[in-house]
């Protein structure tokens, strides 16, 4: 038998945000689920498992981190905080940022850092040109 676990507070908040923000069946004026003509089943939910089918299929995927967290059995997913904004996300491979925007920002920061290090390095001129040693002069 499968028993759901209790939803964490953040997960319940995330579900509410998705329902009120994205669910096409949710009427924010009346605060009801239109097809049910009653309160949204997902908003009162305290446990994982048996989600509203529409929510599960069309609304929850908008937040892949939350989707993984509430739908998969076992330990919470392997999320990583974004290197720029700190938001948790599911990394693909060695990805360090949650979004392309953060990736751009991250790259900008990195190249700024590189420039600073380069400039900070003490005088490396270009005297290593392989010129022959001129000090050893033999008389003729
Ligand atoms: Zn980010």
Q: What is the pLDDT of residues 93-102, one digit of tens each?
A: 888 899 999 9
Do 51 and 97 belong together in one domain? Answer: no
Question: What is the 133 CA–ligand 1 centroid distance (Å)?
Answer: 56
Same domain assignment for residues 50 and 84: no
Question: pLDDT tens digits for 49-61?
Answer: 888 999 999 999 9
Compute the mean pLDDT over every residue in the chain, rounded to the nearest whole number: 84
Range of the structural domain that residue 65 is part of: 9-74
Distance separating alpha carbons of residues 97 and 84, to the nearest angstrom? 7
Is 140 domain-assigned? no
Å from CA of 59 to ligand 1 middle: 21
Cα 74 to averaged position of ligand 1 atoms, centre (Å): 26
Q: How far is CA 11 from the centre of its chain?
A: 16
Residue found under tokens 């390095």 = 121
Question: Which residues are registered as beta bridge partners of 81?
Answer: 88
Residues that place a CB less than 5 A from ion ligand 1: 82, 84-85, 98, 102
Share of residues in the chain with pLDDT > 90 (%): 45
Helix (H, G, I), strand (E, B) or coil at 66: helix
Q: Which pTM does this prediction carry?
A: 0.55
Pairing state between β 88-89 and 80-81: antiparallel
| pLDDT tens-digit series, residues 24-77 | 999 988 889 999 899 998 998 888 888 899 999 999 999 999 998 888 765 566
Together in a domain, 82 and 68? no
Q: Is residue 109 part of a domain?
A: yes
123 occurs within a structural domain: no
Q: Which residue, 119, 118, 81, 88, is CA-closest to 10?
A: 88
Instruction: Compute the distance from residue 124 Cα to the ligand 1 centre, in Å.
Output: 37
């Amino acid at each position: 038998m499968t028993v759901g676990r209790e939803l964490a507070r953040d997960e319940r908040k995330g579900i509410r945000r998705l329902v009120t923000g994205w669910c096409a069946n949710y009427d924010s004026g009346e605060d009801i689920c239109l097809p049910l003509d009653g309160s949204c089943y997902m908003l009162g939910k305290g446990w994982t498992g048996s989600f509203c089918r529409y929510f599960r299929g069309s609304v929850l995927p908008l937040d892949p981190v939350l989707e993984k967290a509430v739908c998969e059995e076992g330990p919470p997913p392997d999320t990583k905080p974004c290197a720029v904004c700190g938001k948790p996300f599911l990394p693909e491979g060695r990805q360090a940022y949650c979004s392309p925007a953060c990736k751009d920002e991250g790259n900008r920061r990195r190249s700024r850092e590189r420039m600073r290090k380069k400039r900070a390095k003490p005088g490396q001129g270009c005297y290593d040109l392989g010129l022959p040693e001129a000090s050893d002069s033999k008389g003729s």
